[in-house]
Structure 1
Amino acid sequence: MILLERRPGLSMEEFVGYYDTHHASLGVRFAPNMLHYSRNGLRPVADVLEGGLREPEYDVITEVHFESREAFEENGGPMQNPAALAALIADEERLFDRDKKSRVIVQDHESDLPRDRATGGIL
């Protein structure tokens, strides 16, 4: 996953529009072995425990899936081509605050939730 914040001065509408119509196509072009590619917009919501509304530190979490760790690592090769790298960086500078970009590998851990046998709802 990649945590991203939009460039200062860019409205949320401009950010989402450009990301969806232009930047995403670069990702698809330069990372051909992705299995899944989505952009998850982050919008503030009131905290049910503390109240109040706090702006998230990031505007989007980009989620990318690969068949394996090896496929993920191989994916970096095409992006290191000088022309591809220059195009990606130039486009990121137009869209993101690159100083705040953060890449992470996510390890899923699911909880088994106790269910009510009669209703199927969570206890």
Structure 2
Amino acid sequence: MSQARQALVVHPAAPDMEEAERTALSECIDAALDCTQACTTGADSCLEEPGVTHLRHVIRAQQNCAVICSATAQVLSRFGSDFGPTPASVLRALDDVAALCEDVCRVYAGAYAHCRVTADSCARVRAAAAAMLALD
């Protein structure tokens, strides 16, 4: 059981949450945190490649995706606050940024393993965001 899942189980608002929602929420938080790490490391890996200039747009996409994934994980972790339900706009923004990052990284996935890892992580977070949006 992931840390996010454990936190959702012991949260005082947990009894009020449907199991499907709790599962989707914990999976989205985990995917967002994993994608934050993959994008941060991916951008750093790109910086180590020779002739890094051609990877500038990849690095920027990874940096932006890491920031949005981290912020989304934080917002999703506050589900019991007065903030109310997670706005669909947060999940759509996550999907938009991760889609761009995935597309850009997929171009280089054959040449650079770190771009493949990042693209795969973006695909996972997109699937998790879609599962959350499907609950509404």
TM-score w.r.t. length of structure 2: 0.32
Specify which structure has the higher proportion of helix: 2
Specify which structure has the higher proportion of strand: 1
Q: Which one has a bigger Cα radius of gyration? A: 1
The higher-RCO structure (CA 8 Å, 6+ apart) is 1
TM-score w.r.t. length of structure 1: 0.34
